[in-house]
């Protein structure tokens, strides 16, 4: 054990290197992916662009206590944000930003409060960010990121394999906040690099004296990704999957202008080894030099605020002590306090819900039958339905009673609105035809009606969704969509952005589409639009904005949308809209730069087994245009072709 004097000196050095404690400024931005505005990635990497919307500048509201404390935070759920514990445990303001142009940003602020932190043994802090005045959760609106973990079919985190995802020379990147004095103002920066060491010394490593790195386990992760002042708390992502590998940043370059040096922990190590001490007292093992920097490890003030709003982590208030110790006691890859609070809060009420099994924080909110489990193909999740047939049985004889596949009880549906459900499944015809859905306070025996050619029309408040099957045959489900029939596809929520791809066919998350803050109402705040680019392979036009998931429960519809050129081209260019649904309907339309025009495809014939909407262009190479506010209008067709109550659309 070191002397008290040694402990005091060490924490002072830590304070110097943990650059979130004072904001260093980059004199000039460094281009080519070193430390440049993330705007320059908008036209390069669609996943980086989407991740950037979930990143915020995080500033302490109690500036008299912690002056000049600004770090980077990243949303990992509708309300949950991660940052570094050394950025101080207090109320925060999180400012999200998106670039309309190189020097023109749209920003929105949310109030946050910390839930727990692990200082000084580790450097992990979990915050709850509250909805805005319109009731929109920051993660629902701006999006959230997921972790690069290996999750077994039983839902358990495979620590060793997840740790093996972090290897020397792997390409990674980070999105972080910092002011740029040569340009002026605050900016989101993009920095790429490689992992250089996976067994680095770090004061935030577990083990030994909480304020020393000399006796800790050598499991820190070092990289040559550029870092400086506001980078503290930022996550680092796999360049291949776009999912976060590394925990909130602890140490960056000590150079005032920044430099290619970072050290932090892996996320999987942090969930396994980080510890929460007693919420009511300071850590009794903490040397004097570390005391007094932060508040209690568990923030009872924030939990009380949520408790009063009926977002209750437990049925018994005194059970907050269950969060002492490790962060993920049930080892499912989600921080326990996040899992409990999100289960209590349910989903934010909205007109469009997208469940694609790619997000573990969403997967743990569902219940699954004994013959259904979430499996992973790389970073893509899907619901696998087991084969119940015997080895010598070739025919699907069916089941006398339905088997549970998936049940989610926290949708918070609007009791005054009808909803449409679409399930994107793959399997035998018998397996697909046997899928059943229930959307109310339902039990397994209330299995509803077949998913094929049917559409529910009304549900009670607080309704849930339950999928079941009478088939013995195997199948898989890529995703489930719940939406109101009058949903406008405006790209303005995380769910409405994630359904779009740059390729035809499921799953949507394989090649995300380019989506920029170029929507129709951007002058009144942030508003996103899908971006269509000229893409050709072997001379053939490729459609670069595609979704196969829009539920259309009618045989004939009008589909309308708005388009505008965004690349400064002079004169008119030509765009293509195609809907493939049994038959192919297509329309060509003119596009003018900086002028929004409405385009409608009238009388489109829609097959009952789903549809695929596709946007492309045969304009000059490099041409781009924006698409926004896609609406599906049944209008003149509803009287003769509207489905009956109790029906649901199926893909």
Same domain, 56 and 95: yes
Same domain, 376 and 248: no
Same domain, 504 and 466: no
In this structure, is residue 298 part of a structural domain? no
In this structure, is residue 205 part of a structural domain? yes
Same domain, 559 and 452: no
Question: What contacts 239, CB < 8 A, 6 or more positions away?
Answer: 170, 171, 172, 173, 192
DSSP states of 273-308: H-EE--SSS--TTS-GGGTTSS--SB-HHHHHHHHH
Instruction: Find the CATH number of the domain harbouring 584.
Output: 2.60.120.260
Question: What contacts 524, CB < 8 A, 6 or more positions away?
Answer: none
Checking if the pLDDT of 281 tops 50, the result is no
Same domain, 394 and 259: no
Domain count within the chain: 3
Last residue of a domain, one of 206, 241, 275: 275
Same domain, 478 and 519: no
Tell which residue, 223, 239, 262, 214, has the closest CA to residue 20: 262
In this structure, is residue 489 part of a structural domain? no
Q: What's the pLDDT tens digit per position in 402-420?
A: 888 999 888 888 877 777 7
Same domain, 73 and 194: yes
Tell which residue, 321, 320, 285, 322, has the closest CA to residue 306: 320
- Is residue 87 a contact partner of residue 296, using CB atoms and an 8 Å limit? no
Rg of the chain over all Cα atoms, to the nearest angstrom: 25
Checking if the pLDDT of 647 tops 50, the result is no
Instruction: Find the CATH number of the domain harbouring 380.
Output: 2.60.120
Q: How far apart are CA 530 and CA 513, in angstroms?
A: 7
Domain encompassing residue 382? 352-483
Last residue of a domain, one of 444, 464, 483: 483
Mean predicted confidence (pLDDT) in 167-174 = 98
Q: Mean of the per-residue pLDDT values for the chain?
A: 83
Tell which residue, 495, 568, 577, 570, has the closest CA to residue 544: 577
Three-state DSSP state, 430 = helix
Instruction: Find the CATH number of the domain harbouring 72.
Output: 2.40.10.120
In this structure, is residue 305 part of a structural domain? no
Same domain, 378 and 508: no
Same domain, 428 and 531: no
In this structure, is residue 296 part of a structural domain? no
Q: Which helix (H) or strand (E) element contains residue 581?
A: strand 573-581
Last residue of a domain, one of 275, 302, 336: 275
Q: What's the pLDDT tens digit per position in 531-564?
A: 998 776 656 677 899 987 655 656 788 899 999 9
Range scoring the smallest mean pLDDT among 383-397, 548-562, 614-628: 548-562
Q: How confident is the model at residue 90 (pLDDT cuts 50, 70, 90)?
A: confident
Mean predicted confidence (pLDDT) in 65-88 = 88
Mean predicted confidence (pLDDT) in 262-268 = 96
Q: How far apart are CA 113 and CA 56, in angstroms?
A: 14
- Chain center to CA of 598: 31
Task: Give the rounded percent of residues in the chain with a pLDDT score beyond 90.
Answer: 51
Instruction: Report angle CA 157, 361, 329 to the nearest 5 degrees.
Output: 45
Highest mean pLDDT among 369-373, 456-460, 533-537, 637-641: 369-373
**DSSP code for 643:** P
Same domain, 16 and 155: yes
Same domain, 574 and 465: no
Q: What's the pLDDT tens digit per position in 171-227?
A: 999 999 999 988 889 999 999 999 999 999 888 887 666 555 565 788 999 999 999
Range scoring the smallest mean pLDDT among 148-162, 411-425, 427-441: 427-441
Beta strands in 76-211 (DSSP E): 80-83, 92-101, 104-117, 125-129, 171-179, 186-200
Q: Which helix (H) or strand (E) element contains residue 434?
A: none
Distances (CA, A) of 300 to 113, 169, 297, 445, 592: 11, 42, 9, 41, 55
DSSP states of 16-60: HH-GGGS---BSS-BTTTTBEEGGGGTTT-HHHHHHHTTEEEEEE
Q: What's the pLDDT tens digit per position in 485-510?
A: 788 999 999 999 999 998 776 666 67
Three-state DSSP state, 94 = strand
In this structure, is residue 314 part of a structural domain? no
> What's residue 38's pLDDT?
98
Tell which residue, 560, 561, 562, has the closest CA to residue 596: 562
In this structure, is residue 332 part of a structural domain? no
Same domain, 271 and 358: no
In this structure, is residue 115 part of a structural domain? yes
């Amino acid at each position: 054990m070191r002397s008290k004097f040694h402990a005091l000196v060490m924490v002072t050095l830590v304070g110097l290197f943990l650059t979130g404690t004072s904001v260093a400024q980059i004199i000039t931005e460094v281009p080519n992916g070193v430390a440049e505005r993330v705007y320059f990635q908008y036209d390069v990497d669609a996943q980086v662009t989407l991740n950037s919307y979930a990143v915020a500048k995080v500033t302490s509201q109690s500036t008299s206590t912690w002056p000049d404390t600004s770090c980077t935070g990243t949303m990992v759920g509708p309300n949950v944000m991660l940052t570094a514990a050394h950025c101080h445990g207090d109320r925060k303001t999180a400012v999200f930003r998106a670039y309309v142009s190189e020097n023109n940003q749209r920003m929105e602020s949310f109030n946050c409060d910390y839930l727990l932190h692990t200082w000084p043994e580790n450097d992990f802090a979990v915050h709850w960010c509250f909805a805005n005045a319109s009731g929109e959760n920051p993660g629902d609106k701006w999006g959230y990121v997921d972790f690069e973990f290996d999750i077994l079919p039983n839902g358990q985190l495979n620590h060793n394999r997840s740790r093996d995802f972090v290897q020397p020379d792997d390409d990674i990147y980070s999105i972080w906040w910092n002011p740029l004095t040569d340009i002026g103002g605050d900016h989101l920066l993009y920095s790429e690099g490689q992992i250089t060491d996976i067994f680095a010394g770090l004061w935030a490593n577990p083990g030994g004296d909480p304020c020393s790195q000399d006796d800790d386990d050598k499991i820190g992760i070092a990289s040559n990704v550029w870092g400086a002042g506001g980078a503290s708390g930022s996550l680092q992502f796999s360049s291949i999957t776009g999912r976060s590998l590394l925990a909130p940043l602890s140490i960056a370059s000590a150079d005032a202008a920044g430099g290619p040096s970072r050290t932090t922990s892996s996320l999987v190590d942090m969930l396994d080894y980080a510890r929460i001490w007693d919420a009511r007292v300071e850590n009794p093992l903490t040397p004097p030099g570390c005391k007094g920097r932060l508040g209690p490890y568990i923030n009872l003030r924030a939990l009380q605020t949520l408790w009063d709003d009926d977002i209750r982590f437990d049925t018994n208030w005194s059970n907050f002590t269950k969060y002492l110790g490790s962060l993920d006691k049930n080892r499912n890859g989600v921080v326990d306090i996040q899992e409990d609070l999100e289960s209590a809060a349910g989903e934010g009420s909205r007109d469009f819900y997208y469940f694609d099994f790619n997000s573990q924080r969403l997967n743990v909110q569902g219940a699954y039958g004994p013959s259904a489990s979430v499996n992973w193909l790389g970073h893509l999740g899907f619901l696998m339905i087991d084969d119940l047939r015997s080895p010598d049985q070739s025919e699907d004889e069916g089941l006398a009673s339905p088997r549970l596949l998936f049940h989610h009880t926290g949708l918070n549906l609007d009791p005054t609105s009808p909803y449409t459900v679409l399930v994107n499944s793959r399997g035998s015809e018998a397996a697909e035809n046997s899928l059943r859905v229930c959307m109310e306070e339902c039990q397994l025996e209330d299995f509803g009606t077949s998913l094929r050619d049917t559409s529910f029309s009304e549900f009670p408040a607080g309704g849930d969704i339950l999928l079941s099957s009478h088939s013995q045959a195997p199948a898989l489900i890529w995703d489930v969509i719940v939406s109101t029939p009058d949903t406008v596809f405006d790209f303005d929520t995380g769910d409405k952005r994630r359904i779009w791809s740059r390729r035809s066919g499921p799953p949507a998350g394989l090649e995300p589409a380019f989506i920029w803050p170029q929507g129709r109402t951007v002058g009144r705040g942030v508003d996103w639009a899908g971006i269509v680019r000229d893409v050709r392979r072997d001379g053939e036009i490729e459609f670069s904005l595609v979704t196969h998931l829009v539920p259309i429960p009618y045989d004939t519809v009008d589909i309308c949308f708005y388009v505008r050129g965004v690349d400064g081209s002079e004169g008119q260019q030509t765009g293509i809209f195609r809907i493939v649904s049994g038959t192919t309907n297509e329309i060509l339309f003119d596009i003018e730069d900086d002028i929004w025009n409405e385009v409608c495809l009238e009388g489109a014939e829609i097959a009952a087994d789903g549809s695929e909407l596709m946007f492309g262009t045969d304009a000059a190479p490099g041409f781009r245009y924006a698409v926004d506010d896609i609406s599906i209008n049944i209008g003149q067709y509803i009287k003769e072709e509207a489905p009956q109550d109790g029906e649901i659309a199926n893909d």
